[in-house]
Amino acid sequence: MITPQIIRSNRKTLSLSINENADLVVRAPHRVSYDEIKKFISEKSAWIDKKQRLIKAQLKEKVNANLISQCLYLGTLYPLKIDNNRVEPISFNGHIFTIANINSEKISLILKSWYKKRFIEIAVPRLGYFSNKHQLKFNQIRVKEQKTLWGSCSSKNNINLNYLLIMAPIKVIDYVIVHELVHTIHKNHSAKFWQKVETIMPNYEDARCWLKDNGYKLRRL
Ligand SMILES: [Zn+2]
């Protein structure tokens, strides 16, 4: 049995509501007995349960939203501000990210869509640059979120790149691009593969280490 908050007044009928803390509030006429209130509550238990679960989920989202307070972009952590008055869902002025006030699930979606656009704008042309410069021909490029990979290169030389990499420093993005491009000629991680990567990017080890140490931060969204 749920212990309700009972507000007695001169009203004529019983009413139930769930407050912002997901607690049950009963508004009751003075003459209605506690047993009658209990009976009324048990009749409405399905509705109460549904409503309470919804509000509890929203409360949890609010807590999560507060946890997203910073955004990683090109290797730098920027503060994230929530602004109710914003019309555009997200903006970045070079110092601060501003997002209109919405739940954490939406913040995550908005950020991901922003990250994807920036990745296409910034990283994809670099794939073309390295491909031309080093004569490493690929077939198609696809940009998507991948749970476990930063990039991949298929047997048909189609390259997939994980746009969450836009949170990493540009050197790291370049390393993943070079890594996948070298797979167009070496389909393994043999010594020859790594030699080729090194001729294109002599300090690739730094980028590889950065990803190993910080990769989890790119997957938290
Ligand atoms: Zn590889």
Whole-number Å distance, alpha carbon 4 to ligand 1 midpoint, is 60
Whole-number Å distance, alpha carbon 183 to ligand 1 midpoint, is 7
- Reported pTM: 0.69
Cα gap 115→218, rounded to integer Å:
11
**What is the crossing angle of helices 170-182 and 204-214, to 10°?**
110
Whole-number Å distance, alpha carbon 190 to ligand 1 midpoint, is 10
Whole-number Å distance, alpha carbon 84 to ligand 1 midpoint, is 44
Whole-number Å distance, alpha carbon 73 to ligand 1 midpoint, is 24
Domains along the sequence of the chain with CATH: 5-62 (no CATH), 66-116 (no CATH), 119-219 (3.30.2010.10)
pLDDT tens digit sequence for 151-193: 999 999 999 999 999 999 999 999 999 999 999 999 999 999 9
Whole-number Å distance, alpha carbon 29 to ligand 1 midpoint, is 72
Q: Which of 51, 57, 6 is nearest to 32 (CA)?
A: 6
Q: Is the pLDDT of residue 96 over 80?
A: yes
Of the candidate ranges 64-73, 113-122, 169-178, the one whose mean pLDDT is the lowest: 64-73
Whole-number Å distance, alpha carbon 200 to ligand 1 midpoint, is 15
Whole-number Å distance, alpha carbon 193 to ligand 1 midpoint, is 9
Whole-number Å distance, alpha carbon 162 to ligand 1 midpoint, is 14
Residues 6+ apart with CB under 8 A from 90: 97, 98, 99, 100, 110, 111, 114
**Which strand (E) or helix (H) includes residue 175?**
helix 170-182
Q: Which of 103, 16, 91, 110 is nearest to 59 (CA)?
A: 103
Cα gap 180→191, rounded to integer Å:
15
Let me know: does 155 contact 188? Beta carbons within 8 Å.
no
Whole-number Å distance, alpha carbon 116 to ligand 1 midpoint, is 22
Q: Which of 197, 218, 177, 195 is nearest to 74 (CA)?
A: 218
Cα gap 31→192, rounded to integer Å:
88
Give the 3-state DSSP-derived string for 57-84, with helices as H, strands as E and coil as C.
Answer: HHHHHHHHHHHCCEEEECCEEEEEEECC
